[in-house]
Structure formats: structure tokens, C-alpha cells
């Protein structure tokens, strides 16, 4: 496995080889998973190998994200002299997180709602942030999520400040809840728990009075 010092030293020397080139057979296998950049006449090519999700057509912003993912990988390959398998990219993430990287699956998930509201920050910060998690795992193995290895990749490869969290307004993606009641008074249940009650899958009791919660 690479050490962080090896990465810094190699990049300081102007891009000396960090890892030996992969075998042609391995590169050929990677090629099957590489996304194609969009052309003005055929946007569907962008996600032919990289996108996995709903059958709904991609928005123009989502296509830009796929293009940005490919560009970031090309930049990383040039800087590190190493070929990387392209990840599966999805826009199915919900909640307050902007993006997440599934290391073992080599998969990226982005929040489509926050993307629409913060498109520029996604292109410049969120995409490199999540890609660096995948690159870090492939180069160093298991490390701290935002440790010195991840930070070194953010700074040296993408020239992006390694911030660990975003500062987006999450009002539009904040989870809603439903009011229930018990002998103590009103209690809020999440939509997920409320739906379980409606389906007859669960019943909930108050931890204090031990009474069953009833929808208000």
C-alpha cells in the first residue's frame, strides 16, 4: 500500500510514477466500465457504463456530474500515473448528505435535490470529495474517512480544500415527522415509523408512561 509521504514526494517531483502501470488485460477490463463524455448530439452516451438508478432520463445537471466524474478520474490518472476503474454513479441519495462513496462497491451516490440547489459546489467540491474516498481506498486500503491520505489527494490532485462536511441549506431535504400522542403528551414520529404503523408492521410505546402511541 502507498504511504501518504510517497504520494507527496512523487507529486513534488513532477509526477514520477507512484504505482506501476496496470497490465493491458486489466486496463481492458477497466475500459468496459468507463463512462463516455457527452456530445451535443448524443447525451445518452454519458451514462451508458457509469450510471445506475431509475429509468427516468438524466437531467442536464446530472449529465454534468457524470462528465465531471470522468474528468476528475482523468486528472487523477495523470497525476498519479495509475489507472482507476470507473465507479457506478447514482443520484438516489436522500436526506441531508450531499454525496457518499461506497468503497467496496466502487460506487458514488449523490443527492439529486441538493444538486439542483447547489450545482456549482457539487461540480467543484462534492464530486472530488467523494471520488477521493474511492481513490484513497484503492491506493491505501482502509484508512480514516477524512484522514491525511484523503486530505493529501484532495490537495495535491484536485487542489480543493479538504473540508469534511458541507454547509448547504438542507431545509428542502429535512425529514418530516408526524405527531402522535400518549399519556405524557405529543410525541413526534418519523415518516418511516409512521408508515410502518400505517402498514401494521409496528406499534410504538412511550418510554416514560409505557402507553401505546396514537396518531393525533
5-21 pLDDT, tens digit per residue, is 555 555 555 443 343 33
Query: Which positions make up the binding site for Zn(2+)?
Result: 129, 133
Dihedral class, residue 14 (left if φ above 0, else alpha if ψ from -120 to 50, else beta)? left
Q: Against a cut of 0.95, is the pTM above it?
A: no
What is the pLDDT, as a whole number, of residue 55? 64
* 152-194 tens-digit pLDDT: 999 999 999 998 888 888 887 776 677 888 877 788 787 778 8
Q: Which residue has the cell 486530505?
A: 151
Q: What's the CA gap between 1 and 123, in Å, rounded? A: 29
Please, is 142 exposed, middle or buried when counting C-beta atoms within 10 Å of its C-beta (0-12, 13-18, 19+)? exposed
What is the pLDDT, as a whole number, of residue 95? 84
Mean pLDDT by 10 residues, the chain (216 residues): 56 45 36 35 38 75 96 97 96 90 96 94 96 96 94 96 86 77 81 84 88 84
Question: pLDDT over 70 for what percent of the chain?
Answer: 74
What is the pLDDT, as a whole number, of residue 36? 33
Query: Which positions make up the binding site?
Result: 129, 133
For Cα atoms 117, 48, 26, give the angle at the middle one, nearest 5 degrees: 115
Check if the beta carbon of residue 75 is closer than 8 Å to that of residue 112: no
What is the pLDDT, as a whole number, of residue 47? 36
Check if the beta carbon of residue 116 is closer than 8 Å to that of residue 65: no
Three-class SS state of 104: coil
- Catalytic-role residue among 67, 70, 130, 149: 130
Domains and CATH numbers, the chain: 4-156 (3.30.2010.10), 175-215 (no CATH)
For Cα atoms 127, 131, 134, give the angle at the middle one, nearest 5 degrees: 155
Check if the beta carbon of residue 178 is closer than 8 Å to that of residue 204: no
β-strand pairing of 99-102 with 214-215: unpaired
Please, is 133 exposed, middle or buried when counting C-beta atoms within 10 Å of its C-beta (0-12, 13-18, 19+)? buried
User: Catalytic residue at 201?
Assistant: no
Check if the beta carbon of residue 109 is closer than 8 Å to that of residue 90: yes
Amino acid at each position: 500500500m502507498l504511504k501518504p509521504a510517497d504520494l507527496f514526494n512523487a507529486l513534488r517531483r513532477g509526477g514520477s510514477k507512484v504505482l506501476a502501470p496496470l497490465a493491458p488485460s486489466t486496463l481492458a477490463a477497466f475500459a468496459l466500465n468507463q463512462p463516455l463524455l457527452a456530445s451535443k448530439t448524443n447525451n445518452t452516451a454519458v451514462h451508458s457504463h457509469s450510471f445506475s438508478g431509475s429509468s427516468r432520463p438524466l437531467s442536464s445537471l446530472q449529465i454534468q456530474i457524470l462528465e465531471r466524474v470522468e474528468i476528475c478520474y482523468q486528472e487523477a490518472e495523470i497525476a498519479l500515473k495509475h489507472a482507476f476503474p470507473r465507479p457506478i454513479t447514482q443520484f438516489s441519495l436522500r436526506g441531508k448528505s450531499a454525496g457518499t462513496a461506497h468503497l467496496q462497491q466502487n460506487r458514488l451516490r449523490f443527492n439529486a435535490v441538493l444538486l439542483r440547489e447547489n450545482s456549482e459546489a457539487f461540480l467543484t467540491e462534492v464530486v472530488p470529495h467523494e471520488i477521493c474516498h474511492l481513490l484513497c481506498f484503492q491506493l491505501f486500503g482502509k484508512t480514516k474517512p477524512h484522514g491525511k491520505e484523503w486530505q493529501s489527494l484532495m490537495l495535491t490532485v484536485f487542489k480543493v480544500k479538504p473540508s469534511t462536511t458541507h454547509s448547504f441549506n438542507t431545509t428542502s431535504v429535512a425529514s418530516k415527522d408526524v405527531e402522535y400522542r400518549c399519556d405524557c403528551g405529543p410525541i413526534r414520529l418519523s415518516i418511516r415509523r409512521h408508515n410502518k404503523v400505517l402498514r401494521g408492521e409496528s406499534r410504538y410505546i412511550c418510554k416514560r408512561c409505557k402507553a401505546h402511541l396514537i396518531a393525533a
